[in-house]
Amino acid sequence: MKKLYFLLFFCTVLLHSQQRYFLNSDTRLYTSPNSTSFLGYFKYGAEVRLLNESQNGWRKVQADNFNEGFIQEKYIAKSLNAKDVKVRDYENPILEGGDAYYGGNHLFVLAAGLKARALPDKNSKIREILFTGDPVAVNYIPVNPDEWVNINGNFTEEYAKYTLRKFIGPRPDLNALIKDFDKLDVNAVPERKTVSERIVELAWNSNYNDLVPAYQRYYEVVKQINAPKLIADTELNMALAKALSQHKLPEQISAFMLKSHYSLKGFKTKSVYISQADLFKTFGNPPKKNQVGDECGIYLSDLFYYYPDLEVSVDEKEKKAEIIKVFINENNKFIINPNAVLDHTLSEKAFIEKYGTYIEASLKAPHIYSILMEDSQFRLEFKDGKFFSVEIFYYC
């Protein structure tokens, strides 16, 4: 009989673990039924795991950061719908979606270079490095600042990301951070470095015009530290910031890129297309072929040829190829127009100084720059300070 009871209990737990349950209102995770003491805040839409059967209208649940406690059963649903009558908790610090930064429940990163981990453990795998001002999905937040928060917003273990509560909150104010920096003693180098790093990251999460004053302050600290590589990297970023603050209009960029093409081993294409005959004549048979899944139908064909110098999408019936990626070397050049020939001797600094007003850039993808078109973008990568490759991406 005991074995039968255990089997029934196991099946009940298994059933609950397979089903998904959501909260149809803001509520809190209480330490016990009918208690006023609570561990954290849930936002409407949060997912929970049920841990036991109903106890006078209360259920024991597990939050997405593995906190366990009690909530009223009336707030638990198998699905959400537009008829839900949400009770808003005005003390709940989690922000609702609909602002300019994020569409769902969220908060913002407060620290520079924040490590998001795969488990709520400081020694677990780092899933992502987050920057000051990055929005993160949050459906449950503990009261204790030293507890962990799941910033992926659900139980999916494959994608779960965790950080400590004290490192996320309302979006930081850039002007306030700048004022804090300017008030610091000039000899308080560690504090100045911490604040200036946050300023730079938040500026990247704001708009290009904020980058110049941000890097000016960061550069002051870098010179105090006197690390040659850091100084060189910062000077490059300062040049980038200046160029981005003078960004060209979309129509100017389109006109600039209108006649872009390649020179491949001396053969000049007319655009990003080349005949299969000219492809074979220039590069021979491809060392590798592969079918690429293309759900959006954005490439010429699903069939790709891979050469050491380039990657192309090939329509063998039409005997035509579309150049997707070119590796820049002594044989290959990217020609935007007669006055803008980009070859393997082009340095990253020279590229930024000459063409930085046409590009998009991100702190999360250093040394990679995009030139946006109406239905696509060229992505240019630099390695070791030199032009390395150019790749075209189409919008789905």
Per-residue pLDDT tens over the stretch 124-181: 999 999 999 999 999 999 999 999 999 998 788 888 999 999 999 999 999 999 999 9
pTM (predicted TM-score): 0.87
| Same domain assignment for residues 47 and 150 | yes
Classify residue 187 by burial, with Cβ atoms within 10 Å: 0-12, 13-18, 19+: exposed
Domain boundary among 172, 200, 223: 172
Among 3-12, 311-320, 361-370, where is mean pLDDT lowest?
Answer: 3-12
Using DSSP's 3-state secondary structure scheme, residue 48 falls into: strand
Say what the pLDDT of residue 173 is.
97
Q: Judge whether 132 and 205 are in contact, CB under 8 Å.
A: yes
Same domain for 232 and 280? no
Q: Which helix (H) or strand (E) holds 336?
A: strand 332-337
Domain closes at, from 244, 278, 302: 244
Is the pLDDT at 40 greater than 50, yes or no?
yes
Single out the residue in 244, 278, 296 at which a domain terminates. 244
What are the pLDDT digits (tens) for 137-150? 999 999 999 999 99
State residue 349's pLDDT score. 96
CB neighbourhood size of 145 (10 A): 11
Least confident of 99-103, 295-299, 373-377, 382-386: 295-299
Say if residue 325 is in the same domain as residue 184: no
**239 and 380, same domain (yes or no):** no
> Which DSSP state fits 124?
S
Q: What is the domain range of residue 188?
A: 174-244
Mark whether 365 and 386 lie in a shared domain.
Answer: yes
- The dihedrals phi and psi of 216, each to the nearest 5 degrees, come to -60, -40
* CA atoms 4, 7, 11, 13: torsion sign: positive
Q: Verify that 258 and 221 share a domain, yes or no.
A: no
Q: Across-strand partners of 22?
A: 47, 77
- For 178, 197, 201, 205, 357, the CA distances from 194, given in Å and listed in that order, are 12, 5, 11, 17, 29
Q: Report in angstroms the alpha-carbon separations of 159 from 10, 124, 295, 383.
A: 27, 14, 23, 30
Q: From residue 99, how far is each of 46, 95, 104, 362 by CA, in Å?
A: 19, 9, 9, 21
Q: Are residues 254 and 210 in the same domain?
A: no
Torsion of CA 41, 44, 48, 50, to 10 degrees: 100
Rounded Cα distance, 283 and 249, in Å: 38
CATH number assigned to the domain comprising residue 110 = 2.30.30.40
Question: Is residue 3 over pLDDT 60?
Answer: no
Which pLDDT belongs to residue 8?
36
Long-range contacts of 239-243 (CB under 8 A, 24+ apart): 239/349, 239/352, 239/353, 239/356, 240/211, 240/352, 240/356, 240/361, 241/208, 241/211, 241/212, 241/214, 241/215, 242/212, 242/356, 243/352, 243/353, 243/356, 243/357, 243/359
Given a cut of 60, whether residue 4 has pLDDT beyond it is no
Mean pLDDT of the region 83-112: 90
Q: Are residues 289 and 178 in the same domain?
A: no
- Same domain membership, residue 261 and residue 357: yes
Q: Collect all residues with Cβ–Cβ distance below 8 Å to 103 and sequence separation of at least 6.
A: 97
β 114-117/106-109 pair status:
unpaired
**Residues 239, 283 share a domain:** no
Structural domain count of the chain: 3
Say whether both 12 and 148 belong to one domain: yes
Average pLDDT, the chain: 91
pLDDT at 357 over 70: yes
Angle at 69 between CA 67 and CA 73, to 5 degrees: 125
Regarding whether 211 and 324 lie in a shared domain, the answer is no
d(CA 375, CA 393): 9
